[in-house]
Structure 1
Amino acid sequence: MTKKLSVVNRRQFLRQAGISAGAGLVASHSMTQVLAANSAEQDRRLQFTKDDLPTSWVSEESAAQTTTSQAVERTCIAPSIETRLFASSNVGGSNERIQLALQRLACAGFKVDNPAITSRQYLRFAGTDSQRASDLQNIATGAIEAPKLLLGVRGGYGAVRLLPMVDWSTLGRIMQERGTILAGFSDVTAIQCALLAKGDMSSLAAPMLYSEFGKTNPDQVSCRQFSEALTNPSLAITVPDASLTSTNLPSILASGEPKTITGTIWGGNLSVVSALAGSEYLPRIRGGIVFLEDVGEQAYRIERMLYDLYLAGVFEGQQAIVFGALSGSGEDSYDKRYDVATVIRQLQQLTGLPIYSGMSFGHIGNKHSFPLGARCQISENTTGGYQLAFTDYSTIKAASVHTEGLWQSV
């Protein structure tokens, strides 16, 4: 079915979206002017954390797509998807970037009920611990009705401080009843692990408000795949090779012939997962598939975190390990031969588990969102890669989402 798009003027759109001009961008200015003010130079001055993607890492293909899109007629739909933000980690940093992201979400069909939380700050965090925990705990208590989408503002650090302050069991039950989707990655991994471990509820590994949708030029591939994962109940991702993890690895590293594997996929950012080792907030999934990604960690630090998990018994009873991007790992100053590939080969020998590398998710451009805590089937394909097929997770009606709005000017 073709979605009906309506072209609205900017003042009408802001009124429909519930975003006041006084809250950020002045209604008399066009989004093109805002984009010019929020220049690439300004983006570079912002301090990057693990949820940010430096502009130099964006592929030429993605940049070309964005340039082309600027010549396309701008269209928006009336926002109807009940959406709430949660700010569990770093403060946003740029109000212009936040307001731009909010307008893009509204253009794409997401009706954000609590944009004011983006202005909170306590030290480096997006509010006090109590304020940040309340974004989720108020849903668990029933003080706020569960939305269809709970979208993380950004990552960085701070989510781990909130874990004892949320009733994850009740929150998970309410989210299951409502079909709520919690989306984020990076530091939000702590929230996703706790929700799965204590609330038996899946979530979505996906881009976030500030770290993607507020960019001057959002990554169109990541935006499209975000929409795909939100709306497709039978999501499948094909991985052609291991290059996103390491060019020195095969896509499948196994002791014998790889077999089709089915189990619950869980995990996220390696730094966060390893920090939860030994706690009640780390999922204990029988026959699970562990997913891990990270950025800016040297090979020895990656290995140390993997040993944390290994020595804590986390890999026991698992069927496989899947690696996404391990970007920005650099070279070892003692011996360049000691690299990510060496670390992963050592892990395979330690655990005996098949390891699948090159999954297109992490702190990279062109990433594929996917559900964590859902059923996942991994199967080898005939071209040397593999495919992940997902089932049993919440989705949103595709007709409610106007994907192009996630990167358009309004």
Structure 2
Amino acid sequence: MSAGLADNIRKLRRTAGLSQEGLAEAADLSLSTVRKVEQGGHVTMETLHALARALGASTSALFATESPKSVLGPQDKANRRYLAELRRALMPPIGLAAPLSEPGEAEEPSGIRQRVQDGHALYQADRYTSVAQKLPDLLRSSEAAVSTLEGEEQQHAMIARAHALLLTGKYLTQVRQYDMAYYALAEAIRLARETGQTQVAATGVVGLCWLLLRQDRFDESEHLAAQTAAEIEPRMSQATPAQLAVWGELWLRVAAAARRNNRQDEAKQARRMAATAAGALEREHAEFPSHWSAFGPVTAEAKAVEDLALAGDARGVLRRADEGPLSPKAVKNFGRLNTNNWGRHRLDVAHAHVLLGSHQDAMDELVNLRETGDVWITHQPMARRVMEDILKNRKRTLTEEMRSMATHLGITG
């Protein structure tokens, strides 16, 4: 944690007239934790939420002087060459006449969209290196198509390029290259708006809200998602499944940002709105490219369980993790979570096991996630945190499985 965040917490504590002991008691934390926080030591988001609640402030207020930072996962170093090539294709130098970029070969819009669909399938399969390799040429081809084609064909090319940029922004957010991700998503939203593709633009906003959330920009994420949800609110009797899904996802973004920002009433209301959309769908919806993720009753329930995880209610997480729409028996009626949401949900379960001292159960969750998403898990800070807690509390010699997992997650020492 930086000195700026520590200073903000100290100032808010003094403004509230609390001693360190008083703040520890109000936040239900140990005195040593509060002292560590104010000395600039490492602190978890759960601890920050607890401190914000005790101080009567939003969590984002604690970050008032912080500059959001990109976080590189262990695998990003190996992919640095691909990321550098992607940066050149996405953000070339711009001169007085035109961008100084390598010329791409114009491609038919239908071909571009098929390549986007193929790239999205690779992304869903956690083959991030393959995605990174394909994106530069895809971006150059779509840019060339927009420049070369005219009339209606140019409009189709602009829509196809918006899709290419959405895929780029989604991938870059996942691997925490936030500056490039923001640029890609902003361009996708702009092109979609110019061509009257409201659904595509709203999909870009869903992605942008995710990016803002990852940067702890809770106020901005909540406001953007709520404003966009209001603008595209569908008529339930006439809405397509894709429209309901994107609208529901926006409310999930509102809830996630508000919950992390200690705005509990707003989070509850947003969860209710998301549940309305999920209820109208009746089961999970995932039909690319009309909808870029998955949304439905199971996703809504998983995100509600995430609220329990953020509140530190480990028993509540474990109780609801295998009940209702999340239970194995419910798959037939409601469908399944997509891979990413399932992984995040099981990390919440793993963390709950750690909090309750069931370290082997937590380890089992990590092993299962590695088997289904070995690259994905390396980009998840929660996975590293769970593994670090297991290592810290392990009383006996580490197993080979534990050593392997620690190495895979980039944990040393």
TM-score between the two structures when normalised by the length of structure 2: 0.30
Which protein has greater RCO, CA pairs closer than 8 Å, 6+ apart? 1
Structure with higher strand content: 1
Larger radius of gyration: 2
TM-score between the two structures when normalised by the length of structure 1: 0.30
Structure with higher helix content: 2
